[in-house]
Structure 1
Amino acid sequence: MNTVKQLKKSSLPFSPKRSYSGKRHNLSAFGSTLLLASLLGTYLDLYFVGKQLYQFPIRPFPEIFSINIAFTLVGLPLFTLLFLYVSNRMTPFKRFLFIFMMSLFVAVFEKQAEALGYFRHSDEWKHYYSCIGYFLYMLLIWRFHTWRSNK
Protein backbone atom coordinates (compact mmCIF):
# COMPACT_ATOMS: atom_id res chain seq x y z
CA MET A 1 0.00 0.00 0.00
CA ASN A 2 1.35 3.39 -0.97
CA THR A 3 0.97 6.46 1.17
CA VAL A 4 1.68 9.98 0.10
CA LYS A 5 3.72 12.14 2.44
CA GLN A 6 3.77 15.92 2.43
CA LEU A 7 7.05 17.49 1.42
CA LYS A 8 8.90 19.22 4.24
CA LYS A 9 9.38 22.36 2.13
CA SER A 10 5.75 22.50 0.99
CA SER A 11 3.78 25.65 1.76
CA LEU A 12 0.47 23.78 1.88
CA PRO A 13 -1.06 23.26 5.32
CA PHE A 14 -0.86 19.80 6.84
CA SER A 15 -4.11 17.87 6.38
CA PRO A 16 -4.59 15.24 9.06
CA LYS A 17 -6.61 12.10 8.40
CA ARG A 18 -10.32 12.65 8.85
CA SER A 19 -12.23 10.64 11.35
CA TYR A 20 -15.62 9.16 10.55
CA SER A 21 -16.73 9.15 14.18
CA GLY A 22 -18.89 12.24 13.52
CA LYS A 23 -21.47 10.26 11.55
CA ARG A 24 -21.49 7.44 14.07
CA HIS A 25 -21.82 9.99 16.86
CA ASN A 26 -24.70 11.71 15.06
CA LEU A 27 -26.47 8.37 14.55
CA SER A 28 -26.02 7.68 18.24
CA ALA A 29 -27.59 11.06 19.07
CA PHE A 30 -30.54 10.33 16.78
CA GLY A 31 -30.97 6.80 18.13
CA SER A 32 -30.92 7.81 21.78
CA THR A 33 -33.29 10.71 21.07
CA LEU A 34 -35.76 8.43 19.28
CA LEU A 35 -35.58 5.98 22.18
CA LEU A 36 -36.25 8.77 24.68
CA ALA A 37 -39.15 10.06 22.54
CA SER A 38 -40.74 6.63 22.41
CA LEU A 39 -40.28 5.90 26.11
CA LEU A 40 -41.48 9.34 27.16
CA GLY A 41 -44.53 9.08 24.91
CA THR A 42 -45.33 5.60 26.22
CA TYR A 43 -45.11 6.60 29.87
CA LEU A 44 -47.07 9.81 29.35
CA ASP A 45 -49.82 7.85 27.58
CA LEU A 46 -49.86 5.25 30.37
CA TYR A 47 -50.15 8.02 32.95
CA PHE A 48 -52.95 9.94 31.23
CA VAL A 49 -54.88 6.81 30.25
CA GLY A 50 -54.53 5.61 33.86
CA LYS A 51 -55.92 8.95 35.05
CA GLN A 52 -58.76 8.42 32.54
CA LEU A 53 -58.12 11.75 30.83
CA TYR A 54 -58.12 10.08 27.43
CA GLN A 55 -58.32 6.65 25.86
CA PHE A 56 -57.63 4.83 22.62
CA PRO A 57 -60.79 2.95 21.54
CA ILE A 58 -59.03 1.52 18.46
CA ARG A 59 -55.59 0.11 19.20
CA PRO A 60 -53.47 -2.98 18.54
CA PHE A 61 -53.78 -5.74 21.15
CA PRO A 62 -56.51 -4.05 23.24
CA GLU A 63 -56.66 -6.99 25.64
CA ILE A 64 -53.00 -6.45 26.56
CA PHE A 65 -52.31 -2.72 26.19
CA SER A 66 -54.40 0.22 27.33
CA ILE A 67 -52.45 2.57 25.04
CA ASN A 68 -51.88 2.61 21.31
CA ILE A 69 -48.44 1.00 21.10
CA ALA A 70 -48.37 1.43 17.32
CA PHE A 71 -48.35 5.18 17.87
CA THR A 72 -45.78 5.22 20.68
CA LEU A 73 -43.43 2.65 19.12
CA VAL A 74 -43.73 3.56 15.42
CA GLY A 75 -45.66 6.80 14.85
CA LEU A 76 -44.00 8.91 17.53
CA PRO A 77 -40.41 7.92 16.62
CA LEU A 78 -41.11 8.61 12.93
CA PHE A 79 -42.63 11.98 13.82
CA THR A 80 -39.61 12.69 16.03
CA LEU A 81 -37.17 11.73 13.28
CA LEU A 82 -38.89 14.06 10.83
CA PHE A 83 -39.03 16.79 13.49
CA LEU A 84 -35.27 16.47 14.22
CA TYR A 85 -34.38 16.36 10.53
CA VAL A 86 -36.29 19.56 9.80
CA SER A 87 -35.24 21.30 13.04
CA ASN A 88 -31.54 20.68 12.39
CA ARG A 89 -31.79 22.93 9.34
CA MET A 90 -33.42 25.91 11.06
CA THR A 91 -32.27 28.96 12.93
CA PRO A 92 -33.26 29.02 16.62
CA PHE A 93 -36.09 31.52 16.01
CA LYS A 94 -37.54 29.53 13.10
CA ARG A 95 -37.20 26.34 15.15
CA PHE A 96 -39.17 27.94 18.01
CA LEU A 97 -41.92 28.95 15.57
CA PHE A 98 -41.86 25.49 14.00
CA ILE A 99 -42.28 23.81 17.40
CA PHE A 100 -45.09 26.21 18.24
CA MET A 101 -46.88 25.56 14.94
CA MET A 102 -46.44 21.79 15.27
CA SER A 103 -47.92 21.86 18.77
CA LEU A 104 -50.96 23.72 17.41
CA PHE A 105 -51.23 21.19 14.60
CA VAL A 106 -51.32 18.34 17.14
CA ALA A 107 -54.47 19.77 18.74
CA VAL A 108 -56.15 19.90 15.33
CA PHE A 109 -54.94 16.38 14.55
CA GLU A 110 -56.33 15.11 17.87
CA LYS A 111 -59.74 16.57 17.02
CA GLN A 112 -59.63 14.68 13.70
CA ALA A 113 -58.55 11.47 15.43
CA GLU A 114 -61.49 11.86 17.83
CA ALA A 115 -63.89 12.33 14.93
CA LEU A 116 -62.55 9.12 13.37
CA GLY A 117 -62.85 7.20 16.66
CA TYR A 118 -59.13 6.62 17.25
CA PHE A 119 -58.95 8.86 20.28
CA ARG A 120 -61.35 9.92 23.03
CA HIS A 121 -60.82 12.60 25.67
CA SER A 122 -62.65 12.96 28.97
CA ASP A 123 -64.87 15.97 29.56
CA GLU A 124 -62.15 17.51 31.77
CA TRP A 125 -59.61 17.54 28.92
CA LYS A 126 -58.93 20.83 27.18
CA HIS A 127 -57.15 20.71 23.83
CA TYR A 128 -54.77 23.47 24.79
CA TYR A 129 -53.31 20.87 27.21
CA SER A 130 -52.15 19.03 24.10
CA CYS A 131 -50.66 22.21 22.61
CA ILE A 132 -48.71 22.97 25.77
CA GLY A 133 -47.76 19.33 26.30
CA TYR A 134 -46.44 18.78 22.78
CA PHE A 135 -44.64 22.13 22.82
CA LEU A 136 -42.79 21.10 25.99
CA TYR A 137 -42.30 17.55 24.67
CA MET A 138 -40.69 18.75 21.41
CA LEU A 139 -38.61 21.33 23.25
CA LEU A 140 -37.33 18.63 25.62
CA ILE A 141 -36.63 16.24 22.74
CA TRP A 142 -34.76 18.97 20.85
CA ARG A 143 -32.67 19.93 23.89
CA PHE A 144 -31.82 16.28 24.54
CA HIS A 145 -30.84 15.79 20.91
CA THR A 146 -28.58 18.85 20.87
CA TRP A 147 -27.00 17.74 24.14
CA ARG A 148 -26.33 14.27 22.71
CA SER A 149 -25.01 15.73 19.44
CA ASN A 150 -22.55 18.00 21.24
CA LYS A 151 -21.41 15.39 23.74
Structure 2
Amino acid sequence: MPIVKRSKKWSWRSSPKTPSFLRTKRAPAYISTLFFASWIGTYLDLYFVGNGWYHFPHRPFPAIFSIDLSFTLIGLPLFVTFFLYVMARLRPWPRGLFLITMSLFMTWIEKQAETIGWFVHSSEWKHLYSFVGYSLFMAMVWRFYRWVNLH
Protein backbone atom coordinates (compact mmCIF):
# COMPACT_ATOMS: atom_id res chain seq x y z
CA MET A 1 0.00 0.00 0.00
CA PRO A 2 1.46 3.37 -0.98
CA ILE A 3 1.64 6.06 1.66
CA VAL A 4 0.88 9.60 0.53
CA LYS A 5 2.71 12.37 2.32
CA ARG A 6 1.72 15.99 2.38
CA SER A 7 4.07 18.26 0.45
CA LYS A 8 6.16 20.66 2.53
CA LYS A 9 5.25 23.41 0.06
CA TRP A 10 1.55 22.94 0.70
CA SER A 11 -0.11 25.27 3.16
CA TRP A 12 -3.64 26.20 4.13
CA ARG A 13 -5.17 29.01 2.15
CA SER A 14 -6.82 31.95 3.85
CA SER A 15 -10.56 32.18 3.78
CA PRO A 16 -11.82 32.55 0.20
CA LYS A 17 -13.87 35.52 1.42
CA THR A 18 -10.70 37.44 2.27
CA PRO A 19 -9.66 39.63 -0.70
CA SER A 20 -6.48 38.39 -2.36
CA PHE A 21 -4.55 41.60 -1.72
CA LEU A 22 -5.07 41.10 2.03
CA ARG A 23 -3.80 37.49 1.88
CA THR A 24 -0.39 38.61 0.70
CA LYS A 25 2.59 39.93 2.57
CA ARG A 26 1.75 43.31 1.00
CA ALA A 27 -1.38 43.75 3.14
CA PRO A 28 0.34 46.15 5.60
CA ALA A 29 1.47 48.28 2.65
CA TYR A 30 -2.09 48.38 1.24
CA ILE A 31 -3.65 49.23 4.59
CA SER A 32 -1.14 51.93 5.54
CA THR A 33 -1.44 53.46 2.06
CA LEU A 34 -5.24 53.56 2.37
CA PHE A 35 -4.92 55.41 5.69
CA PHE A 36 -2.35 57.75 4.14
CA ALA A 37 -4.60 58.49 1.14
CA SER A 38 -7.61 59.17 3.38
CA TRP A 39 -5.53 61.43 5.61
CA ILE A 40 -4.12 63.41 2.66
CA GLY A 41 -7.56 63.58 0.98
CA THR A 42 -9.18 64.85 4.19
CA TYR A 43 -6.61 67.59 4.70
CA LEU A 44 -6.70 68.65 1.04
CA ASP A 45 -10.50 68.91 1.25
CA LEU A 46 -10.24 70.93 4.47
CA TYR A 47 -7.75 73.28 2.81
CA PHE A 48 -9.72 73.81 -0.41
CA VAL A 49 -13.10 74.08 1.33
CA GLY A 50 -11.61 76.45 3.89
CA ASN A 51 -10.27 78.68 1.11
CA GLY A 52 -13.56 78.64 -0.76
CA TRP A 53 -12.41 76.75 -3.86
CA TYR A 54 -15.27 74.26 -3.54
CA HIS A 55 -17.86 72.98 -1.11
CA PHE A 56 -20.13 70.02 -0.50
CA PRO A 57 -23.79 71.08 -0.31
CA HIS A 58 -25.02 67.61 0.73
CA ARG A 59 -22.78 65.90 3.27
CA PRO A 60 -23.18 63.85 6.43
CA PHE A 61 -23.20 65.88 9.66
CA PRO A 62 -23.12 69.33 7.97
CA ALA A 63 -23.23 71.14 11.31
CA ILE A 64 -20.00 69.46 12.39
CA PHE A 65 -17.96 68.83 9.22
CA SER A 66 -17.37 71.15 6.27
CA ILE A 67 -16.17 68.27 4.08
CA ASP A 68 -17.83 65.12 2.79
CA LEU A 69 -16.51 62.37 5.05
CA SER A 70 -18.28 59.66 3.05
CA PHE A 71 -15.96 60.36 0.13
CA THR A 72 -12.72 60.61 2.10
CA LEU A 73 -13.46 57.62 4.36
CA ILE A 74 -15.26 55.29 1.93
CA GLY A 75 -15.00 56.42 -1.70
CA LEU A 76 -11.34 57.39 -1.69
CA PRO A 77 -10.09 54.16 -0.03
CA LEU A 78 -12.11 52.08 -2.51
CA PHE A 79 -10.67 54.02 -5.42
CA VAL A 80 -7.11 53.79 -4.02
CA THR A 81 -7.49 50.03 -3.49
CA PHE A 82 -8.42 49.59 -7.16
CA PHE A 83 -5.67 51.99 -8.22
CA LEU A 84 -2.94 50.16 -6.26
CA TYR A 85 -4.18 46.76 -7.38
CA VAL A 86 -3.88 47.71 -11.05
CA MET A 87 -0.67 49.74 -10.69
CA ALA A 88 1.12 46.84 -8.98
CA ARG A 89 0.44 44.64 -12.01
CA LEU A 90 1.59 47.05 -14.72
CA ARG A 91 4.99 47.81 -16.16
CA PRO A 92 6.36 51.37 -15.90
CA TRP A 93 5.03 52.86 -19.17
CA PRO A 94 1.52 51.46 -18.82
CA ARG A 95 1.57 52.66 -15.19
CA GLY A 96 2.07 56.24 -16.34
CA LEU A 97 -0.71 55.91 -18.91
CA PHE A 98 -3.00 54.36 -16.31
CA LEU A 99 -2.26 57.20 -13.87
CA ILE A 100 -3.12 59.80 -16.54
CA THR A 101 -6.25 57.88 -17.52
CA MET A 102 -7.40 57.65 -13.90
CA SER A 103 -6.73 61.38 -13.41
CA LEU A 104 -8.91 62.15 -16.42
CA PHE A 105 -11.56 59.74 -15.14
CA MET A 106 -11.61 61.32 -11.66
CA THR A 107 -11.88 64.79 -13.23
CA TRP A 108 -14.85 63.55 -15.26
CA ILE A 109 -16.41 62.00 -12.12
CA GLU A 110 -15.94 65.33 -10.35
CA LYS A 111 -17.82 67.14 -13.14
CA GLN A 112 -20.61 64.55 -12.92
CA ALA A 113 -20.81 65.08 -9.16
CA GLU A 114 -21.25 68.79 -9.87
CA THR A 115 -24.16 68.18 -12.23
CA ILE A 116 -25.85 65.97 -9.62
CA GLY A 117 -25.30 68.62 -6.94
CA TRP A 118 -22.92 66.72 -4.66
CA PHE A 119 -20.05 69.09 -5.31
CA VAL A 120 -19.78 72.82 -6.19
CA HIS A 121 -16.64 74.58 -7.41
CA SER A 122 -16.03 78.33 -7.20
CA SER A 123 -16.32 80.31 -10.43
CA GLU A 124 -12.50 80.66 -10.61
CA TRP A 125 -11.93 76.87 -10.58
CA LYS A 126 -10.61 75.24 -13.75
CA HIS A 127 -10.90 71.50 -14.13
CA LEU A 128 -7.29 71.40 -15.27
CA TYR A 129 -6.54 71.97 -11.56
CA SER A 130 -8.44 68.76 -10.76
CA PHE A 131 -6.53 66.79 -13.38
CA VAL A 132 -3.14 68.01 -12.11
CA GLY A 133 -4.21 67.54 -8.49
CA TYR A 134 -5.40 63.97 -9.01
CA SER A 135 -2.23 63.15 -10.98
CA LEU A 136 -0.02 64.44 -8.17
CA PHE A 137 -2.16 62.79 -5.50
CA MET A 138 -2.05 59.38 -7.20
CA ALA A 139 1.69 59.66 -7.91
CA MET A 140 2.26 60.48 -4.23
CA VAL A 141 0.05 57.58 -3.11
CA TRP A 142 1.90 55.20 -5.45
CA ARG A 143 5.28 56.42 -4.15
CA PHE A 144 4.13 55.96 -0.56
CA TYR A 145 2.91 52.43 -1.32
CA ARG A 146 6.24 51.54 -2.96
CA TRP A 147 8.18 53.04 -0.03
CA VAL A 148 6.14 51.12 2.56
CA ASN A 149 6.39 47.95 0.49
CA LEU A 150 10.20 48.17 0.48
CA HIS A 151 10.48 48.51 4.26
Q: CA deviation at 1:100?
A: 0.3
Pairwise CA RMSD = 1.7
| 1:90 alignment partner in structure 2 | 90
Name the aligned partner's letter for residue 51 of structure 1: N
| 1:61 alignment partner in structure 2 | 61
Q: Are 1:56 and 1:68, in contact at CA under 8 Å, matched by a contact in 2? A: yes
Name the aligned partner's letter for residue 83 of structure 1: F
Q: CA deviation at 1:108?
A: 1.1
| 1:6 alignment partner in structure 2 | none
Identical aligned residues as a percent = 55
Structure whose CA Rg is larger:
1
| 1:100 alignment partner in structure 2 | 100
Q: CA deviation at 1:26?
A: 1.0
Structure 1 residues 44-72: Cα deviation after superposition (integer angstroms, max 9, x where no partner): 00000000000000111111110000000
Structure 1 residues 83-139: Cα deviation after superposition (integer angstroms, max 9, x where no partner): 000111100110100000111111111111000000000011100100000000000
Q: Are 1:49 and 1:66, in contact at CA under 8 Å, matched by a contact in 2? A: yes
Name the aligned partner's letter for residue 59 of structure 2: R
| 1:38 alignment partner in structure 2 | 38
Following TM superposition, where does structure 1 have runs of at least 4 consecutive aligned residues deviating by more than 4 angstroms?
Answer: none
| 1:147 alignment partner in structure 2 | 147
Where in structure 1 are there 5+ consecutive unaligned residues?
1-14, 16-22
Q: Are 1:54 and 1:122, in contact at CA under 8 Å, matched by a contact in 2? A: yes
Tell me, in whole angstroms, the C-alpha distance in 1 between the residues paired with 2:72 and 2:111.
18
Name the aligned partner's letter for residue 100 of structure 1: I
1:134 is the counterpart of 2:139: no
Equivalences, count: 133
| 1:122 alignment partner in structure 2 | 122
| 2:17 alignment partner in structure 1 | none
1:27 is the counterpart of 2:27: yes
Name the aligned partner's letter for residue 54 of structure 1: Y
Where in structure 2 are there 5+ consecutive unaligned residues?
1-7, 9-22
Name the aligned partner's letter for residue 146 of structure 2: T
Tell me, in whole angstroms, the C-alpha distance in 1 between the residues paired with 2:106 and 2:72.
15
Q: CA deviation at 1:25?
A: 4.2
> 3-state DSSP class of the match of 1:82?
helix
> 3-state DSSP class of the match of 1:32?
helix
Question: What's the TM-score, normalizing by structure 2?
Answer: 0.83
| 1:20 alignment partner in structure 2 | none
